[in-house]
Structure 1
């Protein structure tokens, strides 16, 4: 069996975090669209594959997300993926944990119980990496916790201090009054995004949302963003809000 994938002429998402010039192309709206693209891919492998099969990727992270010539985001690697048999989508597999240390579902790592919610946790880490502009295992987070960004983000969320670790580039967009300068995050958009990201990295699997719920909330965050800037009317269908036509360095 082989997997045929597109040519990702804009590289991989992880490459952008290490380059300040490239990262500046990742406006808040583009970051939302990238996250929605990946969320749809996860929903597909979790729920929509033919013959009622379910795939659990086990290795969702920034370096496994490719960006095509239009800036659309797709999951690239399925090296460690596993199938759940048909009609057993709510069952768990018991396998040794693998993946990037700071992106692994802590319940899976501790108990070896693998479920779709394990991918949801890893995707939640991606959401916080998108928000904070740093990889989950960045030394700045490892100084605070061996578990990296997810643990730091949960603690900051509980303390009401999460905005302090948001990507400075987004803060530049926000400006002194926090939410209205240039095209930085709208307050409702940012709040919606942070809330669903926090739910995704809940410590136990049964506390996490499904990817169907995640998509609904991310689309809501994008809706708040584009509505705030009057780019789309309030009657715009949500399917139009998920267009992945982004522009990156090759188009600039």
Structure 2
């Protein structure tokens, strides 16, 4: 993977550059990702390349990374996509300062962005196609300057045509992140939309806790990482023990800040749906439509609380 800046002219408003020499035109610069697939040793790399190319060429959604260009020449296989200016959620989880900037409202919106993208892939693509990403983890969430999320990296995605059963037999010999893999899929090889739901649920808990699922703090309690720990805490009613300390402090009774902290109803809705997402079996998990609905409901509670707080503050100032 490489980063570079591309200079280009204002193609969004071509009428403004007609008759003007290119040497007099100012260029716009955008940083892009250049993803180079290794020279072909076997068929795997070529298959990964064309899978991701097919996906990016056929999807169009504001929460999915945009394809800028590609190259197929000799043994070279290259994809060029937009770069998210704030890096990935995975990198942010390893940066205390970055996580400190993420209020509960921002964290909810990142989850909602991801849910919109997966709901689109699962239910809203053109020609009644359906796609399973199959590799969701925090490093697949690119974040822009406003902390809006876009899903990326589709080389392991699976298309299902309209007439096919809602699952695919897809056995893998390796996983980029074992802590995000649907346990039923890993056991049976049956890849379903609910497999994405499971992985997304793990990401939700990572956003809540401010740490990656395989962090040593969780592995000391369970070899399965964050998912197993969060399930236990949810069952015991002690989920607050694993919440990001920064968020927990701002949500506490004594130091509660509704602008940075979490509204309790919002937090409860989030926890409930996240716990359903990481259920052991596929048939126990909600659809992405349900997850998206619940996350938006949680955001309504949070925003309403913030608005109420601001009204009170303004009222006190005016009085």
What TM-score range do you get, normalising by the shorter chain? 0.7 to 0.9
Q: 1:136 to 1:127 in 2, by over 3 A?
A: same
User: What residue in structure 1 maps to residue 120 of structure 2?
Assistant: 44
Secondary structure of 1:230's match?
helix
Alignment of 1:136-147 (within 5 A): 136-147=213-224
Any stretches of 5+ residues in structure 1 without a counterpart? 233-252
Secondary structure class of the residue paired with 2:134: coil
Alignment partner of 1:211 is 2:297: no
CA–CA separation in structure 1 for the residues paired with 2:165 and 2:226: 29
Contact 1:174 1:184 in 2 (8 A): yes
Q: 2:188: which partner in 1?
A: 111
Which of 202, 209, 214 does residue 125 from structure 1 map onto? 202
Provide closer, same or farther for how the CA distance between residues 89 and 213 of structure 1 changes in structure 2, counting only shifts above 3 A: farther
Structure 2: 5+ residue runs without aligned partners? Answer: 1-49, 57-66, 68-80, 310-319
Q: How much has 1:94 moved relative to structure 2? A: 3.6
**Does 2:150 match 1:90?**
no
1:175 and 2:270 aligned:
no
Partner of 2:94: 18
Q: Is the Cα–Cα contact under 8 Å of residues 54 and 89 in structure 1 kept in the other structure?
A: no
Q: Which of 121, 142, 148 in structure 1 is aligned with 2:225?
A: 148
Range with greater deviation from structure 2 (10-19 or 93-102): 93-102
Q: CA RMSD in A?
A: 1.8
Moved more, 199-208 or 170-179: 170-179
> Is 1:55 the counterpart of 2:131 in the alignment?
yes
TM-score by length of 2: 0.69
Tell me the residue number matched to 1:78.
154
CA distance in 2, matches of 1:198, 1:177: 28
Is residue 103–residue 259 contact of structure 2 (8 Å, CA) maintained in 1? no
1:229 paired to 2:306? yes
Length-normalised TM-score, structure 1: 0.87
Normalized per residue, which structure has more strand? 2
CA displacement, residues 92-112 of structure 1 (integer Å, 9 cap, x when unaligned): 434226331000001111111
Q: Distance in 2 between matches of 1:205 and 1:179?
A: 37
Q: In structure 1, how many angstroms separate the alpha carbons of the residues matched to 2:147 and 2:257?
A: 25
Higher relative contact order (CA closer than 8 Å, sequence separation 6+): 1
Q: Does the C-alpha gap of structure 1 residues 27 and 162 become closer, same or farther in structure 2, counting only changes over 3 Å?
A: same
Equivalent residue number for residue 195 of structure 1 = 272
Residues 93, 210 of structure 2: 8 Å contact kept: yes
Q: Which has the larger radius of gyration?
A: 2
Query: Do 1:174 and 1:182's aligned partners in 2 also have CA atoms closer than 8 Å?
Result: no
Instruction: Using the TM superposition, give the Cα deviation of residue 126 of structure 1 relative to its aligned residue in structure 2, in angstroms.
Output: 0.2
Q: CA deviation at 1:30?
A: 0.2
